[in-house]
Amino acid sequence: MSDHWRQFVKRLHPEGIPWPGSVLYNALSSSEIFLRHYELVAHDVAHYGGAGCILDIGTGPGHLLLAMRKVFPDTKLVGVDISPPMVAQAQRNIETYGRDPRIEVRVAGANALPFADETFDRVVSTGSLHHWKDPIHALSEAHRVLKADGYALMYDLVRDMPKAVWEDVRARFGGFRLALLWLHSFEEPFLNAEEMDALGRRTDFVVEGTRFTGALCCLVLRKAAASVTNTEAEGQPGHGSDVLTHAAHARRYT
């Protein structure tokens, strides 16, 4: 997809998914390829250690919260979404799969998170970043509500999937589903991995790089305990050691 097309799609693209899109998306996200990805992401988040409280931004129908409930049995899981019909859908799904006091969903936009500073051990998001009209502001909100040394893990589809990832996804899910994902990229303003990395570098986070979990690219962001710039952090042992880092490009992606 050309950059002009992406900018055009981005302008038309609604930030929150309204009804009946919420119902259609709920059906789509109940398919095997989506459910498998929520499981993969939940286990991926667990690699960053235990957590008392996790926030999922743009939670949509809440499937990631349900997948994380299995992996984090003692963790408080909070989902927010800017779309009231989507939050209602998430509430229905949580009721269906067993009401749980550890899971809470509410209507809120990524740009104005209704939580005190340093509330969460992790902030996660799947498939929502490319919807955000002001992603820098949204990431600064994620930074504010995250505890020091906490991770924000931003997963999204990207428009340029590396060949190895493409082949892995085809082997796991089949060529037909992969083709549907590829077609999807023409009507959604996805970034690419380098652009996700560059976005992170325009925030107060330390960017540990990008890597893939299934078909989803994950931007790995750490909230440094003290004020550490990305340049200083790159000199630290372990920085970016287990992730595929990409060159930063100083461009605007809003």
Ligand X SMILES: C[S@@+](CC[C@H](N)C(=O)[O-])C[C@H]1O[C@@H](n2cnc3c(N)ncnc32)[C@H](O)[C@@H]1O
Q: Interface residues with ligand X (CB under 6 A)?
A: 15-17, 25, 29, 57-60, 63-64, 80-83, 86, 109-111, 126-128, 131-132
β partners of residue 105: 79
Rounded to 5 degrees, φ, ψ at 33 are -65, -40
Q: Which is nearer to ligand X, 189 or 240 (CB)?
A: 189
Q: Which residue is nearest to ligand X (CB)?
A: 60
Residue 119: C-alpha distances to residues 15, 20, 153, 168, 203 (Å): 25, 33, 16, 36, 19
CA-based torsion, 9, 14, 20, 23: positive or negative = positive
Q: Which is nearer to ligand X, 131 or 239 (CB)?
A: 131
Q: Which is nearer to ligand X, 80 or 178 (CB)?
A: 80
Q: CA 21, CA 163: separation in Å to the nearest integer? A: 31
Q: Quote the least distance from Cβ 181 to ligand X, whole Å.
A: 13
Q: CA 109, CA 68: separation in Å to the nearest integer? A: 21
Q: Quote the least distance from Cβ 144 to ligand X, whole Å.
A: 15
Q: Quote the least distance from Cβ 78 to ligand X, whole Å.
A: 13
Q: Which is nearer to ligand X, 1 or 224 (CB)?
A: 1
Q: Quote the least distance from Cβ 86 to ligand X, whole Å.
A: 4
Q: Which is nearer to ligand X, 66 or 206 (CB)?
A: 66
Q: Quote the least distance from Cβ 228 to ligand X, whole Å.
A: 27
End-to-end CA distance of the chain: 17
Q: CA 25, CA 149: separation in Å to the nearest integer? A: 34
Q: CA 90, CA 22: separation in Å to the nearest integer? A: 10
Q: Quote the least distance from Cβ 185 to ligand X, whole Å.
A: 13
Peptide bond between residue 20 and the one before it cis (omega within 30 degrees of 0): yes
SS3 state at 93 = helix
Q: Which is nearer to ligand X, 145 or 206 (CB)?
A: 145
Q: Quote the least distance from Cβ 46 to ligand X, whole Å.
A: 17
Half-sphere exposure of 204 (CA within 13 A, CB side): 17
Residue 145: C-alpha distances to residues 110, 222, 227 (Å): 11, 12, 16
Residue 196 identity (one-letter amino acid): M
Q: Which is nearer to ligand X, 17 or 207 (CB)?
A: 17
